[in-house]
Amino acid sequence: MAPATASPRSDPLDPALRWSDQVSLTPRILAVNVFALLLLGGGFFYLDSFRTRILDSRVMQMQREAGLMAEALAAAPAPARAAVLTRLARDTGARLQLLDPQDRVLLDSERLGGPDFTLVDPRTDGLSQRAARWLDAGIDSIVRAPSSPSYDPARVPPDPDMARNTLALSATVWRAPDRTPVITAAAALPDRSAILSTINARDITERVRVERYRLSLVVLTALAISIALSLFLARTIVGPLRRLARAAVRVRLGRAREVVVPRLPDRRDEIGMLARALSDMSLALRARIDATEAFAADVTHELKNPLASLRSAVDVLARVDDREAQARLLTIVADDVHRLDRLISDISDASRLDAQLSRAKFERIDLVAMIEGLLAQRAQRGSTRGIRLHLDLLPDAHAPVMAEGMRLERVFDNLLDNALSFSPDGGVVSIALRRVDGDVEVRVEDEGPGVPEEAREAIFRRFHSVRPSEEAFGRHSGLGLAIARTIVEAHQGSIAVESREDRLSGARFVVRLPVAEDEEPS
């Protein structure tokens, strides 16, 4: 089992978001959606200002009515004032009292048969009304609404005296025992008497409670829908992410072979894209592990052969006294040492190749100039067994490619070495370049025995080597073509071997590389 590893952060989080990094997605989704509804629920507190506006409007209305009623009573003769007061009480629905300058009651509409003014005893209310009062008190406490004084029906409010002293209208809002508003308004008459109008404005409280009830239904319905949708959203996001996370943890713990990362084929969103990307990554990781294990096994096998030969030669050398035999054994030892050195160097290059190519910086390179340079270097070293090198350029062959120069040179250097080793003495190795469907195609042809069709894929495998019969054993590690394919594929290209079109003996290696896109003018 692989040890748990802790990798440092490469992208520091925004300090404002660090707190949310510790919370699961499900409560975060719920919190975001419910928070918006809580803002809607803030309408409960808005209703307080709604109630205040209604009260202010009702107070102003009662002040105007008190002033008009005072004018009507002042114009009426004394015997008719009782009838006028009763009619006005019935029209306004308020309890009207005519007070003398000492605030003694001269006329009372309730005693004259006007509207009955009775305050509700909260002890007789049902549970729903009590709950409504508790809710009123709680909201008033939260919004810090100004508390109205308690109304005492046995005591005359100060409004009549204020109206006489200021010669203006006066009004006060009181609180009944059941928390409904009681509004009193007074206006002075010319003889310093005053009319007092009192009303228990239960309709205001009922109106606010009805609006609160409707808002509660909207908020609760929206809250239920929001929670359901949030849970559904969390299920469709958090559930698959947890499955993917568990699979990723198992892969990290070294169980890649037994882990099946869910691909979620029915999802076409980002979660599905992530699942398929992780699945492909795990498959690639599994293939890489298999390749690494196979490579390690091949390396072990390839190293054992020269080591066995070297051990045998060393063991025999210690028991042989004949100088000629010793010289032959030392030659074998030297060859095996060189073979091991060459093999280890090639293995080292092959093992580091993928990592080096992943970090390589590609540049625009003229492929024709590169191959011409390679051929010029070989011409300076002289001909090998009289073999001629021929370069065939088609008119559209000059095209840049994006490549890492040294690696790409190694590809064609290997292909040229391979072609020269298989070509007969005095033969011709030809290199042709042309453009094919947006790619640059490079052909390297020799006049050797060719490659059997059944072996054309196997020759690109590591440590697979088919060499000429006259070549000394162990000169090649069997990694050259495998390294060439790795480099070409890292350049988004392809390499293959095929028969020559002219039906002559020999092999043709074909390398295709994409042409570099033209840079946009700045």
Q: What angle do CA 448, 449, 454 make, to 5 degrees?
A: 130
**Tell me: the pLDDT tens digits for 274-316?**
888 878 877 777 777 776 776 666 667 666 767 777 787 787 7
What pTM was estimated for this model as a whole?
A: 0.46
What confidence score (pLDDT) does residue 352 get? 65
Q: Which long-range contacts (CB under 8 A, 24 or more apart) does 111-117 make?
A: 112/82, 112/85, 112/86, 113/86, 114/85, 114/86, 114/89, 114/90, 115/89, 115/90, 117/153, 117/198, 117/200
Instruction: Specify the higher pLDDT residue, 3 or 368.
Output: 368
Domain containing residue 391: CATH number: 3.30.565.10
32-46, 69-83, 267-281, 379-393: range with lowest mean pLDDT: 32-46
Q: Which two tokens stand for residue 12?
A: 């520091």
Query: What CA–CA distance (Å, rounded) separates 497 from 258?
Result: 37
Query: What CA–CA distance (Å, rounded) separates 391 from 315?
Result: 51
Domain containing residue 105: CATH number: 3.30.450
Q: Which two tokens stand for residue 249?
A: 């943890």
Last residue of a domain, one of 213, 243, 272: 213
SS3 of the chain: helix, strand, coil, percent, to 5: 55, 15, 30
Last residue of a domain, one of 358, 379, 409: 358
On whether both 352 and 364 belong to a single domain, the answer is no
In this structure, the dihedral spanned by the alpha carbons of residues 51, 57, 58 and 60, taken in order and rounded to 10 degrees, is 140
Bridge partners for 441 per DSSP: 434, 512
- Does residue 312 fall inside a structural domain? yes
Last residue of a domain, one of 358, 373, 403: 358
What confidence score (pLDDT) does residue 59 get? 92
Is pLDDT at 135 greater than 60 in this prediction? yes
What confidence score (pLDDT) does residue 156 get? 86
127-131, 257-261, 322-326: range with lowest mean pLDDT: 257-261
On whether both 323 and 343 belong to a single domain, the answer is yes
On whether both 484 and 498 belong to a single domain, the answer is yes
Query: What CA–CA distance (Å, rounded) separates 384 from 420?
Result: 8
Which whole number is the average pLDDT over 191-211? 88
Alpha-helix runs per DSSP H in 80-126: 81-92
**Cα 279 to chain center, whole Å?**
18
**Tell me: the pLDDT tens digits for 165-188?**
887 898 999 988 888 899 999 999
Q: Mean pLDDT across the chain, nearest whole number?
A: 78
On whether both 373 and 510 belong to a single domain, the answer is yes
On whether both 295 and 181 belong to a single domain, the answer is no
Q: What angle do CA 342, 348, 349 make, to 5 degrees?
A: 90
Instruction: Specify the higher pLDDT residue, 257 or 48.
Output: 48
On whether both 339 and 406 belong to a single domain, the answer is no
Amino acid code (one letter) for 175: R
On whether both 65 and 208 belong to a single domain, the answer is yes
- Does residue 462 fall inside a structural domain? yes
On whether both 417 and 490 belong to a single domain, the answer is yes
What confidence score (pLDDT) does residue 522 get? 38
Domain total in the chain:
3
Query: What CA–CA distance (Å, rounded) separates 97 from 75?
Result: 17
Instruction: Specify the higher pLDDT residue, 116 or 383.
Output: 116
Domain containing residue 317: CATH number: 1.10.287.130
**Of the candidates 510, 511, 506, which has an alpha carbon nearest to the alpha carbon of residue 427?**
506
- Does residue 91 fall inside a structural domain? yes
**Tell me: the pLDDT tens digits for 136-169?**
777 777 767 778 888 888 888 988 888 888 878 9
On whether both 453 and 379 belong to a single domain, the answer is yes
- Does residue 331 fall inside a structural domain? yes
**Tell me: the pLDDT tens digits for 500-519?**
776 567 888 999 999 887 65
- Does residue 150 fall inside a structural domain? yes
- Does residue 225 fall inside a structural domain? no
Which whole number is the average pLDDT over 413-418? 85
**Of the candidates 222, 221, 286, which has an alpha carbon nearest to the alpha carbon of residue 251?**
286
On whether both 396 and 339 belong to a single domain, the answer is no
Which whole number is the average pLDDT over 78-92? 91
Domain that holds residue 329: 260-358
Q: What percent of the chain has pLDDT over 90?
A: 12
- Does residue 26 fall inside a structural domain? no
What confidence score (pLDDT) does residue 473 get? 44
On whether both 209 and 343 belong to a single domain, the answer is no
Is pLDDT at 477 greater than 60 in this prediction? no
Query: What CA–CA distance (Å, rounded) separates 83 from 207?
Result: 33
Instruction: Specify the higher pLDDT residue, 478 or 228.
Output: 228
User: What is the bridge-based pairing of β-strands 400-403 and 428-436?
Assistant: unpaired
Tell me which DSSP letter residue 387 carries: -
What confidence score (pLDDT) does residue 383 get? 67
Cβ(117)–Cβ(200) below 8 Å: yes
Angle between the 127-143 and 43-75 helix axes, to the nearest 10 degrees?
Answer: 100
Query: What is the H or E stretch that residue 99 is in?
Result: strand 95-99
**Of the candidates 315, 299, 69, 62, which has an alpha carbon nearest to the alpha carbon of residue 204?**
62
- Does residue 407 fall inside a structural domain? yes
User: What is the bridge-based pairing of β-strands 170-175 and 95-99?
Assistant: unpaired
Is pLDDT at 19 greater than 60 in this prediction? no
Q: What angle do CA 483, 484, 489 make, to 5 degrees?
A: 100
On whether both 199 and 80 belong to a single domain, the answer is yes
**Of the candidates 50, 42, 39, which has an alpha carbon nearest to the alpha carbon of residue 208?**
50
Q: Transcribe 176-217 into DSSP letters.
A: -TTS-EEEEEEEE-TTS-EEEEEEE-HHHHHHHHHHHHHHHH
